[in-house]
Amino acid sequence: MAEMMELIKSRRSLRAPYDRGRPVEPEKLAQILEAARWSPTAHNMQNFEIVVVDDPGVLDAIARIERPVSETFIRENYAQLSFSEEELLQRKTGVLGSMFPPSWRRPDFRLDELDAEEVAAMRRPLPASPLLLVVVYDPSRRAPASEGDFLGIVSLGCVMENMWLATESLGIAMHIVSSLSSGGEVKEILGIPKRLTIAFSCRLGYPESPPPTYLRVRREVADFTHHNRYRD
Ligand SMILES: Cc1cc2nc3c(=O)[nH]c(=O)nc-3n(C[C@H](O)[C@H](O)[C@H](O)COP(=O)(O)O)c2cc1C
């Protein structure tokens, strides 16, 4: 149990560039896919497919895709930012503002008012990695009687966590890149049929240099636990 808790707590997002010259070993990739295979899914629908991308040309084509950020994202992101470690420790949710370009940290952000430098900062290229796993949601394998296939979507989170814990136990870094899910370009490059949706993509690999550390916070157990009756 102690080991499992250690694994759960040490799993983290590693957003730095990964060494393109150091591939993820095939046997480790096989174990990550095996972890995905045994994920719990609602009604055992196994409503996912995984595209393994390790071809440098395909990785480059995906990295070149522009990933526009919406004003809605910036506005809602701003509400979750802390501007110091002390503030983040106090809030216990959200992320540090220093993760984002300066223009994203302004309450009055307006896309149409950015100067050229700020626009360039928003087009940050996808950090390097030798491997990208694109997890695809198949809505036709729907959980029975689940409105909006809510349970099917929850199931994809189980797939993500199984994969993430497997990478952590294998000493491989992982970074979820949600922005590759929107727009059709990744689907087009990978030949993913229109009827399927990209659930999430993750970069995998070994960091180019020692990974940066950053403050990670969580609410206390007592903050989200309700005994016998929900209390506001
Ligand atoms: C469904 C989901 C989507 C996420 N999308 C992104 C993303 O697009 N970019 C990113 O850097 N992190 C993404 N993350 C990572 C979270 O920001 C991260 O898990 C959270 O801040 C806690 O940090 P930790 O993973 O280091 O514990 C995502 C996580 C989940 C579960």
Neighbours of 27 (CB within 10 A): 8
Taking CA atoms only, the protein residue closest to ligand 1 atom 19 is 13
φ, ψ (nearest 5 deg) of residue 201: -125, 145
- Ligand 1 center to residue 126 CA distance, Å? 15
- Ligand 1 center to residue 64 CA distance, Å? 21
Residue-wise pLDDT tens digits, 160-194: 999 999 999 999 999 999 999 988 999 999 999 99
Residue-wise pLDDT tens digits, 123-168: 778 999 999 999 999 999 999 999 999 999 999 999 999 999 999 9
Q: What is the pTM of this model?
A: 0.95
Taking alpha carbons only, the member of 82, 86, 114 closest to residue 96 is 82
Question: pLDDT value at position 44?
Answer: 98
Which atom, in ligand 1's list, is nearest to the CA of 179? 8
Domain with CATH 3.40.109.10 in the chain: 2-66+126-219
- Ligand 1 center to residue 24 CA distance, Å? 21
Taking CA atoms only, the protein residue closest to ligand 1 atom 29 is 176
Question: pLDDT value at position 103?
Answer: 83
Which atom, in ligand 1's list, is nearest to the CA of 14? 26
Q: Which residues line ligand 1 (CB under 6 A)?
A: 12-13, 15, 95, 175-179, 216
Say if residues 110 and 71 touch (Cβ distance below 8 Å).
Answer: yes
Say if residues 32 and 163 touch (Cβ distance below 8 Å).
Answer: yes
Q: Which CATH number fits domain 2-66+126-219: 1.10.260.40, 1.25.40.10, 3.90.230.10, 3.40.109.10?
A: 3.40.109.10
State which of 98, 176, 200, 216 you would mutate to test the pocket of ligand 1, scoring each by most atoms of that ligand within 8 A of its C-beta: 176
